[in-house]
Structure 1
């Protein structure tokens, strides 16, 4: 019998068809982050045990990200359809063993390999259509990364607009927000093939290990955000009550694995 190869499915005799190569995975991208406060109870209801509410429990970050990513071979950069993708995600905060943690509670991505990679890491990714204005250094077809630069951002899925934002740079800052600044604590979950009557095949909390973090200047500004009520989605329960701030930053990092910090099977 053949010994099948590949980091994830489809596993084959050579492993070259796997939708993902093994880590490390390198990321470089542009992030637009909009922070606001919502009803704290709507955040707390998304925190599974043993995660407890954070200080300022109603704080939320909604992030648009335009990424380029690759494995340690860097082959994807020469076939950019396998390297470039965009995503939008909601981040909230909690406390685990006395420390603040960040947690992604909703996320959409526009490539299948990024969706599978997210499920491996514990991100609850869905497919969507995402667009974010790109800055330019020459010409008129884009904003500059300077005061007055204006950006638009949209998210859609299943032919419906889910969210849209507008952002105008007013200056720079030392930090780019606080909601998405902690270690990520995510749930990896896979139901048993026997169905809901059987214990899950996988149910655990994990953190991720990121190295070689690199980041450019933080551009702050004014933002408007609209969330739309659509069938099959619940993110509207995190509707803004008060804006905190908005930030644009170019970043890079490398994912090298993670740690299981809690198993629900224990």
Structure 2
């Protein structure tokens, strides 16, 4: 009898049907980021156990990303339906043992493999539709250049409702890049139990820090930004509705993931 294989389900004799192949996972994406501030109390209410509010109260960022990814030795790049995806997420700045970090309380993605891969890393991904203005290596009116005066937009919808939209007008190369997304990401991996009487006793409940390597980033451009978050049934991201919008940024970023650090086991 053959042994079933696969990093995730479905597991088969060959393991090729596994929704998420084993790491390492290689990523590259175009990013549209808006740094902003939300209500400090609302931002603090979303911090998981083990994190404290950032001294710059309410500091957050909204991120639209147009990704391409593949697994080691995989053929996803030749099958773009398995390598392309887009996502929108919000991060809140915080402190972990006195050091700056970010945490992601809300995120939407448009592919199932990226959704499950995110759960494995502690990102609370939900399905949505995400659209981001693209640029191309060609001077044409249909493709805004990464240059002064160019305008980029991002839109996220979920279950038929608009979740968020952003617009950034580039002005100049950035000396700092997005300050609000610079600290490392710390999230909660949470997998509940279904066994009767144990619904409040999760199988996994831990604070984890994202780890990556072979990081590369393009020149970063910045400019004036707009950001709107919209109410929608079954959603609570408008807890982070902006009270002040800072700057917007456009860049390309790539890295590899094959590790995750457990910071601490949380009280169950």
Taking structure 1 as the reference length, the TM-score comes to 0.96
SS at match of 1:135: coil
> Is it true that 1:35 corresponds to 2:35 in the alignment?
yes
In the other structure, the counterpart of 2:188 is 187
Q: 1:23 to 1:217 in 2, by over 3 A?
A: same
Paired residue for 2:226, among 200, 213, 224?
A: 224
Residues in 1 aligned to 2:153 and 2:178: alpha-carbon distance in whole angstroms:
19
Aligned pair count reads 266
Deviations 1:52-108 (A, max 9, x none): 111212011000000000111141111111001000000111111221111111000
Residues in 2 aligned to 1:246 and 1:255: alpha-carbon distance in whole angstroms:
26
Residues in 1 aligned to 2:46 and 2:64: alpha-carbon distance in whole angstroms:
21
Residues in 1 aligned to 2:74 and 2:21: alpha-carbon distance in whole angstroms:
11
131-140 or 98-107, which moves further after superposition? Answer: 131-140
Residues in 1 aligned to 2:199 and 2:237: alpha-carbon distance in whole angstroms:
28
In the other structure, the counterpart of 1:158 is 159
8 A Cα contact 2:40 2:57, kept in partner = yes
In the other structure, the counterpart of 1:136 is 136
Q: 1:192 to 1:145 in 2, by over 3 A?
A: same
1:146 positional shift: 0.3
Residues in 2 aligned to 1:192 and 1:164: alpha-carbon distance in whole angstroms:
35
Alignment of 1:1-266 (within 5 A): 2-138=2-138, 139-195=140-196, 197-264=199-266
SS at match of 1:5: coil
Deviations 1:188-209 (A, max 9, x none): 1111122554511111111121
**Unaligned regions of 5+ residues in structure 2, if any?**
none
**Unaligned regions of 5+ residues in structure 1, if any?**
none
RMSD: 1.4
1:259 positional shift: 1.3
1:163 positional shift: 1.0
**Structure 1 segments of 4 or more deviating over 6 A?**
none
8 A Cα contact 2:207 2:262, kept in partner = yes
Q: 1:213 to 1:194 in 2, by over 3 A?
A: same
SS at match of 2:242: coil
SS at match of 1:204: strand
